[in-house]
């Protein structure tokens, strides 16, 4: 089996925006209320953060349960890890996810500013500087033959797309319109020169976009 580089369950508004502006500790997605964008995933039976049994087992559930299948490492942008900018003032911030992050693999956080690795439960965060191909080489090795997930945000996904390093891309497009913020694309058609695309409407109102390399 080839080792793939995958974007999974990346959610954007119908106008292509993945996160709002003015990210803070209280608002990881800035002005974009994440519950409006991500409620499709939280409704499914396989959503990892469920606290109650139940949940839907229709189409959207196939996507939430595919999120971790065969993944051996994740690469994320610094703004997915936290709202800080510039040099790390201290090392107290350990991500948004508490003591049990939902990754369960090595995670490579892109940053120009050095910081030691640390481990929370079965997730180890590494802080790495470098171009996408160099960071991907490290993540591939850490994944030990499994796939590498590009975890976002939009800027990071774009960097890896622009470097032509992505094999498959699943983007869940919400009916919500955000107007402004951090943009993934103007239109999914931008990727059609390099990718096959299937567009699959879900009964939940989401429209799943499934890309794979030509």
Query: Minimum Å distance from CB 59 to a second copy?
Result: 5
Query: Minimum Å distance from CB 95 to a second copy?
Result: 25
Judged by beta carbon, residue 165 or residue 210, the one nearer a second copy is 210
Judged by beta carbon, residue 10 or residue 127, the one nearer a second copy is 10
Judged by beta carbon, residue 38 or residue 212, the one nearer a second copy is 212
Query: Minimum Å distance from CB 101 to a second copy?
Result: 20
The residues of the shown chain that bind a second copy, judged by CB under 8 A, are: 2, 45, 53, 56-59, 62-63, 65-66, 69, 168, 196, 198, 200, 202-203, 208, 210, 212
Query: Minimum Å distance from CB 52 to a second copy?
Result: 13
Query: Minimum Å distance from CB 210 to a second copy?
Result: 5
Judged by beta carbon, residue 102 or residue 130, the one nearer a second copy is 102
Judged by beta carbon, residue 102 or residue 179, the one nearer a second copy is 102
CA–CA separation, 19 and 85 (whole Å): 16
Encode the chain in three state secondary structure.
Answer: CCCCEEEEEEEECCCCEEECCCCCCCCCCCCCCHHHHHHHHHCECCCCCCCCCCCECCHHHHHHHHCCCCEEEEEEEHHHHCCCCCCCCCCCCCCCCCCCCCCCCEEEEECCCCCCCEEECCEEEEEECCCHHHHHHHHHHHCCCCEEEEEECHHHHHHHHHCCCCCEEEEEECCCCCCCCEECCCCHHHHCCCEEEEEEECCCCCEEEEEEEC
């Amino acid at each position: 089996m080839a080792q793939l580089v995958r974007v999974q369950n990346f959610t954007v508004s119908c106008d292509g925006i993945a996160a709002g502006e003015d990210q803070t500790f209280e608002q990881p997605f800035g002005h974009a209320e994440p519950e409006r964008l991500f409620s499709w995933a939280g409704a499914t039976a396989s959503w990892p953060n469920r606290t109650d049994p139940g949940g839907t087992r229709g189409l959207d559930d196939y996507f939430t349960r595919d999120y971790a299948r065969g993944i051996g490492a994740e690469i994320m942008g610094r703004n997915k890890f936290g709202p800080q900018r510039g040099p790390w003032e201290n090392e107290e911030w350990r991500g948004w996810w508490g003591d049990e992050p939902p990754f369960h693999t090595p995670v490579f956080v892109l940053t120009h500013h050095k910081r030691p690795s640390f481990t929370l439960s079965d997730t180890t965060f590494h802080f790495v500087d470098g171009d996408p191909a160099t960071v991907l080489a490290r993540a591939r090795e850490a994944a030990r033959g499994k796939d590498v997930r590009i975890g976002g945000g939009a800027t990071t996904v774009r960097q890896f797309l622009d470097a032509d390093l992505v094999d498959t891309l699943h983007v869940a497009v919400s009916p919500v319109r955000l107007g402004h913020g951090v943009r993934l694309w103007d239109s999914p058609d931008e990727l059609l020169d390099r990718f096959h695309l299937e567009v699959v409407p879900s009964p939940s109102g989401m429209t799943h976009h499934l890309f794979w390399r030509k």
